[in-house]
Structure 1
Amino acid sequence: MNLDDTIVAIATPPGRGGIGVVRLAGPESKIIASRMLLLSPGRVLDARRAEFGELVEIDSGERIDEVVATYFSAPHSYTTDEIVEISCHGSPVVLRRVVEMALAQGARLAEPGEFTQRAFLNGRLDLTQAEAVRDLIDSQTLYQAKVAARQLKGSLSRVLLPIKEDLVALIARLEAGIDFAEDDVSVMPSDQILAELDQVKSALRELSASFTYGKIVHEGLTLAIVGRPNVGKSSLFNRLVERERAIVTALPGTTRDLVTETVALGGIPVRLVDTAGIREALDEAEHIGIRKSMEALADADLVLVVVDASDEPSTVDRELLQDAAGRAAIVVLNKTDLGECGADLAGKLPVVRTSAVTGNGITELRAEILRAVKGNAAEDGGAMLTNLRQQGQVNSALGALDAATASVQNRIPHEMVLLDLYNGLRALDELTGATTADDILKLIFSTFCIGK
C-alpha cells in the first residue's frame, strides 16, 4: 500500500437509493474531483464546505447529474489526507461513472478498509478504534452500535493507558536500578516488584474477563429450547419471537425439524432454536429430528429446558436436567395456568414459571436470559474486549507478566525479569496497534467494506 496514492471508492451500500457517495482520498483528490465538477460561478471547493454543482464528462462537459461535493483539507479529515466526497443520486450507473473518471485521472481503486487503514497508519485512530468502525458498520442492534461507538471514542484505549503506564514505570525503575547501580540508585526489593506486578495483572485479568460478555455482544448467542413433546416449547418460542413462527398443535411430536429465528434481547442478537420433542422416536423422520435436537443442545450457548409444570416429571425430564446441570441453562416450568404438581427438579439451575398460553412469566423469562448472558459483566458504559485478537493479546501480556512474577520469586536477575516485562508491554502495544505486523493489519482491514 502506497500512502501517497490517491484512492477512490463508492462509500455507500450497493444498489439504488436516494443518495450515493463516492469518496476520494489522497494528494490529488481535489484536483481530480474539480475536473469532473461544474460548480456555480465563482465557487470552488473550500475546506469543510458543501458545494452544489453538476457532475460532467471531463472530455465533453456533458451533464451527468446534480451533486453536492464536500472537501476536507489535510490533516483535518478522516484519514488525515485531502478528501473529497461527491454525493450523487443513488444510481449505480452514475456512481460507477464517477469512479471510472477518477481512475482515468490517475486515482486507483481503494482496497477493502483502506480509508480506515490510512486513518490508523496516520495516527487518527488506534487499532481498537479501527476495529470499532467495522463493528459499528456490522451492528445488528442499537445496543451493539452504542458499544461500538464507545470503542470508537477510545473507551478500551483509555482503560489500557494506565495499565501500560504502570508497566512502563516498573520497567523504567528496574532499568535504572541496573544501569545506575554504581550511582547509589537503589534496586527495587522483590516484594515491591511483586506488588506492582499484581496490580497490573489484576487490571488485565478484569479486562480479560470482559471478553465473555463482549464476544456475546459482538457475535450474539444461540439459545436452544429443549424438552419432551407437548411441554409448550413451540408456544414459548412464538412468545419470545412475538409472532406465530412455529406450528403449534395439541398433537405430541408436531415439531420435527429445527425452527430458528433471531431476536434482540437487551440489544443482543439471540438466535432461538425450537427443537423436536425428545422421546423414543416413532419413525425415521422423528428420529432425525430428535438427533438434531441433541446436536442443538450441545452447540447452544444457553439452553432452556422446558418442563410441564402441571405434570409429574418424566425420565426424559430428569435426563435433560442432568445434561444441562453442568452448563449455562434455565429451567422453564411451563403450563402453570393448568396448575403445578410441586416437584422440585431444578437443583442449582435458575427456574422461571411461565404460561405460554396466557403470557405470564414471559417478561421474567427474558430478564433471566439476560442475567444468564451478562453474568458478572460490567455495567453498560464499561470497556470490553470484543474479538479474539484483543483477547489473545491481553492473555499474552498476562502470560508474560506471570513469567516475570515467577522469575522474581525465584530470585532470577532483574535483567531476565525485564525480558518478560518487555514481552508483556509488546503484547499491549500490539493490542492498540503501536507495534503490529503487516500481515495482521492486512487481515484486520480486509474484512472492511471497500468504501471504508
Structure 2
Amino acid sequence: MQPHPQVAEQESIAHETIVAISTPPGRGGIGIVRLSGPHALEIANALLTLRSPLAHALARFAEIHDPESNSKLDEAIATWFAKPKSYTGEDLIEIAAHGSPVILELLVRLALQHGARLARPGEFTERAFLSGRIDLTQAEAVRDLIESQTLYQARTAAEQMDGALSRRIRPVKQTLVELIAVLEAGIDFAEDDVDLMPDAEIVTRIDTISVDLEKLARSFEHGRIVHSGLTMAIVGRPNVGKSSLFNRLVERERAIVTATPGTTRDLVTERVSLGGIPLELVDTAGLRESTDEAESIGIQKSREALADADLVLVVIEAGVPLREDEAQIIQSLAGRKALIVRNKIDLDLEDNAVGESTMAVVGTSARTGQGIDDLRAALLSMVRAPTGESESGILTNLRQHQAVTEALSGLVAAEEAVARKTPHEMLLLDLYSTLRQLDSLTGETTADDILNRIFSTFCIGK
C-alpha cells in the first residue's frame, strides 16, 4: 500500500516523536510505554540502561534508574521495531515495565524532557494509516477489536484488520477503473477513429458494479448488529412469564418473579451474548390498563421500549385464548424483527391461535427450561447474516455505509446519463464521483476532518 496522499501535509507532525502509555490506567503486572518517530531510538537510549544495544524486533533487558539519585527503580524489556517494519511505519519502541503508574508516568515525563510529545488519541494508528501500512477500513477495525465485547466481534474485527473489506472492494474498483479508462480513451483518441463503447455495453458494466455494491450495502444491516449489538424487548400481559423468561435467558435470577400480576413496574435490563452478538434484554412491565400510578408509568416505559427495540419477544400464555390487546401488539409488529413465545407449555395446554401473523412461534417453559434452547436458536437465526451473505468483508459503521450508498447514487446518475445520450465527458463525472466514494471508503482520498473524527475516538496509546 502506498502512503496516504495527505502524508505530505503531515510532515511537520511526522518529524515529531510521540509517547504514550499503551496499557489501561491502574496497576498491573506489566505496563507498556510506546515511542514512535524519528528520535524514538535515541530517546529510549536516554531513558534506559541497556545491557546490550537495541536491535530490530529483538527484546532487550533494561533497567530504569531514578534521574536524581541514579538508583535502580525497575527492570524492563525494550523492543525496537525499525522503520518501515513497524506498526506505525516509523521507528517504534515499546518499553514493558512493571505496571506501576508511578514508573510509567516517570518514563513518559522523561521522554517529554528529551523532546517527545504526548500522543493524541489514536495517533499511533493514524501514523500507520498515513504511512500506508494500513488503509482506513483496517484502522477502524483496530478500534473495533479494542472495543469488542465478544469473541465473535473480535473475529470479525480481526478479519477486517486483515483487509477483508478492502479485498472485497478491490475488484469492484478495478472494474470501474477499466470502464473509466475505456471511455477516456474513446474521448482522447476520437480523431483516430477509435470505436466508442456502445451504450448497452456501458450499462451492462455499470449494472455489474452496482450488483456488487448493493450486496455490500446490504451487509451493513448485519455489520451494524455485529458492531453495536441489539436491544430486545420482552413484552406481554402481566403474569405470562416475561420475567421468568428474562431470567432464563440471562441465566440468573435478575428480575423479581412472583405470582402477583404487575410485579415488574420498571424496565430491567441485562446484557448477554447471543452467538457472539451483544444483546441487551429489556424486561418490561405487563401491558394492561392500570389505575396504579407507579404501574402506569412502568407500562408507558414498556411501550417506549417496545417502540425502540431492534427485536421484540411477544410472550403469551399457552392454552389461553389470544386477547384483543395481544393481537393488536402482534399486528403492530408486522415487518419488524419479532417472535411469539408461547410460555408455560409444561402445563400441556393446546396451542394458541395467533391469527394471520407470519411471525415464528416458539413454545417454552420458563419454569422448567423446556424450549429455551429452541428460543435461542430462533433468535440467533434472526440476527445472523442472511443465508448466502458473507460474514466477512462487511460494512460495520455508518461512514462506510454512506460511502457505498453515495457510490451507488453515482452509478444511478451515470446510467441515467447513458439513457439521455449524454456525452461521455459528462458521464465520466458521475463515474469519477463513484470512484471518489470508493476511495474514501478505504481512505485513499479522505478529508482531514473525517480522519480527525475517526482517530479521536481511539484510546490514547493506540
Q: TM-score, normalised by structure 1?
A: 0.98
Amino acid at match of 1:393: A
Task: Find the aligned partners of 1:25 and 1:409 in 2 and give their Cα distance.
Answer: 54
**Structure 2 gaps, min length 5:** 1-9
Amino acid at match of 1:404: A
The equivalent position to 1:225 in structure 2, one of 227, 234, 237, is 234
Residues 393 and 431 of structure 1 are in contact (CA less than 8 Å); yes or no, is this contact kept in structure 2?
yes
Task: Find the aligned partners of 1:5 and 1:60 in 2 and give their Cα distance.
Answer: 30
**Secondary structure of 1:343's aligned partner:** coil
Task: Find the aligned partners of 2:343 and 2:457 in 1 and give their Cα distance.
Answer: 44
**Secondary structure of 1:123's aligned partner:** coil
Deviation of 1:184 (Å): 2.2
Residues 331 and 351 of structure 1 are in contact (CA less than 8 Å); yes or no, is this contact kept in structure 2?
yes
Does 1:36 pair with 2:47? yes
The aligned runs of 1:82-97 (5 Å cut-off) are: 82-97=91-106
| Equivalent in the alignment of 2:405 | 395
Q: More deviation in 59-68 or 125-134? A: 59-68
Task: Find the aligned partners of 1:353 and 1:380 in 2 and give their Cα distance.
Answer: 31
Amino acid at match of 1:449: C
Amino acid at match of 1:415: E
Does 1:336 pair with 2:345? yes
The equivalent position to 1:174 in structure 2, one of 183, 198, 202, is 183
**Over residues 216-247 of structure 1, what are the superposed CA-to-partner deviations in whole Å (9 max), with x where a residue is unaligned?**
00000000000000100001100101111111
The aligned runs of 1:53-202 (5 Å cut-off) are: 53-58=62-67, 60-202=69-211
Q: TM-score, normalised by structure 2?
A: 0.96
Amino acid at match of 1:370: L
The equivalent position to 2:33 in structure 1, one of 22, 32, 45, is 22
Deviation of 1:249 (Å): 0.8
**Secondary structure of 2:14's aligned partner:** coil
Q: More deviation in 256-265 or 353-362? A: 353-362
**Over residues 374-416 of structure 1, what are the superposed CA-to-partner deviations in whole Å (9 max), with x where a residue is unaligned?**
2526566521000000000000100001000000011111111
The equivalent position to 1:432 in structure 2, one of 419, 442, 462, is 442
Amino acid at match of 1:351: V
**Secondary structure of 1:256's aligned partner:** coil
Task: Find the aligned partners of 1:375 and 1:141 in 2 and give their Cα distance.
Answer: 17
Residues 160 and 392 of structure 2 are in contact (CA less than 8 Å); yes or no, is this contact kept in structure 1?
no
**Percent of aligned positions with the same letter in both sequences?**
59
**Over residues 67-110 of structure 1, what are the superposed CA-to-partner deviations in whole Å (9 max), with x where a residue is unaligned?**
11111111110001001110010011111000000000000000
| Equivalent in the alignment of 2:277 | 268
Task: Find the aligned partners of 1:339 and 1:299 in 2 and give their Cα distance.
Answer: 34
Does 1:349 pair with 2:343? no
Deviation of 1:158 (Å): 0.1
Task: Find runs of 4+ consecutive structure 1 residues off by over 6 angstroms.
Answer: none
Residues 127 and 433 of structure 1 are in contact (CA less than 8 Å); yes or no, is this contact kept in structure 2?
yes
**Secondary structure of 2:332's aligned partner:** helix
Task: Find the aligned partners of 1:378 and 1:18 in 2 and give their Cα distance.
Answer: 46
The equivalent position to 1:237 in structure 2, one of 243, 246, 249, is 246
Residues 210 and 378 of structure 1 are in contact (CA less than 8 Å); yes or no, is this contact kept in structure 2?
no
Residues 320 and 352 of structure 2 are in contact (CA less than 8 Å); yes or no, is this contact kept in structure 1?
no
Amino acid at match of 2:230: L
| Equivalent in the alignment of 2:291 | 282
CA distance change for structure 1 residues 377 and 87 in 2, over 3 Å: closer, same or farther?
farther
| Equivalent in the alignment of 1:422 | 432
Aligned length: 450
Task: Find the aligned partners of 2:43 and 2:69 in 1 and give their Cα distance.
Answer: 16
**Secondary structure of 1:210's aligned partner:** helix
Amino acid at match of 2:381: R
